[in-house]
């Protein structure tokens, strides 16, 4: 259920047991080879071509952001559970969203939905500064620890309500949302700089979701719909 390309549905959550079927466990010490295969068979083969994105995903050790019990599947072509009904997105969707952001080394980025911290680490390789918000306290703490241990001093983690964004750090050159709201939060649009890009999956709970790429201009926003997707829903919190 994680096949991509054309009009195929892109999954960002391990929603059915069939999506996480077991296979023979690879050599745990062979992470580099698995990462190289991920880049070639899952990203390049599906059209991800941005050299900086490919370099970042080659460099970042995805397995360090995956729970120990599923770490052996870290480079599989599927999302994986990380606890608290959340997932780490499959490699392709991380590459796709990162490429769609058209990131520059000088950009300041807001991420909504830190999760494991893996996408934030990729952003940390590509942008000047990253602000990332996670509503689940335990995941926020785990991601903060993983990012600090991996040396990402330019990534700032906050536990809070992603619908509110991070107003005191705005405006942001780029915004990425890694869970699906039923509509684009206005606070995030407001915090996107003129000329900025937001990449966000939008739709109901697992159904009829589509990836939207939003560009903010002086005259308003321009929205383009791309892939049909399936993400965990974006949770509405009551506070910051």
Question: Which amino acids are annotated catalytic?
Answer: 89
Q: Which of 111, 108, 107, 82 is nearest to 94 (CA)?
A: 111
What distance in Å separates the CA atoms of residue 12 and residue 98, rounded to the nearest whole number?
Answer: 14
Taking residue 64's Cβ as centre, other Cβ atoms within 10 Å add up to 16
Which H helix or E strand runs over 52? Answer: helix 51-59
Q: How many whole angstroms separate alpha carbon 63 and alpha carbon 213?
A: 28
d(CA 61, CA 65): 8
Q: At CA 125, angle to CA 144 and CA 193, rounded to 5?
A: 90
Question: CA–CA separation, 210 vs 141, rounded Å?
Answer: 30
Q: 198: helix, coil or strand?
A: strand
Phi first, then psi, for residue 132 (nearest 5°) are: -130, 135
Rounded to whole angstroms, how far apart are CA atoms 101 and 130? 13
């Amino acid at each position: 259920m994680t096949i991509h390309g054309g009009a195929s549905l892109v999954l960002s959550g391990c929603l059915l047991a069939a999506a996480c079927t077991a296979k023979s466990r690879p050599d745990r010490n062979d992470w580099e080879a698995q990462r190289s295969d991920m880049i070639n068979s899952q990203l390049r083969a599906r059209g991800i071509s941005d050299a900086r994105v490919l370099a970042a995903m080659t460099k970042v050790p995805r397995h360090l952001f995956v729970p120990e019990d599923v770490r052996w599947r870290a480079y599989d072509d599927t999302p994986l559970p990380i606890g608290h009904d959340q997932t780490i997105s499959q490699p392709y969707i991380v590459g796709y969203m990162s490429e769609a952001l058209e990131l520059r080394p000088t950009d300041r980025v807001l991420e909504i939905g830190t999760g494991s911290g893996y996408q934030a680490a990729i952003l940390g390789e590509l942008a000047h500064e990253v602000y990332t918000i996670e509503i689940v306290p335990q995941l926020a703490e785990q991601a903060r620890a993983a990012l600090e241990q991996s040396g990402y001093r330019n990534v700032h983690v906050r536990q809070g309500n992603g619908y509110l964004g991070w107003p005191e750090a705005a405006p942001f050159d780029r915004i990425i949302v890694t869970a699906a709201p039923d509509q684009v939060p206005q606070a995030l649009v407001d915090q996107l700089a003129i000329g900025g890009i937001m990449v966000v999956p939008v739709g109901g709970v697992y159904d009829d979701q589509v990836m939207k790429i939003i560009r903010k201009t002086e005259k308003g926003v321009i929205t383009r719909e791309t892939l049909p997707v399936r993400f965990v829903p974006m949770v509405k919190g009551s506070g910051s």
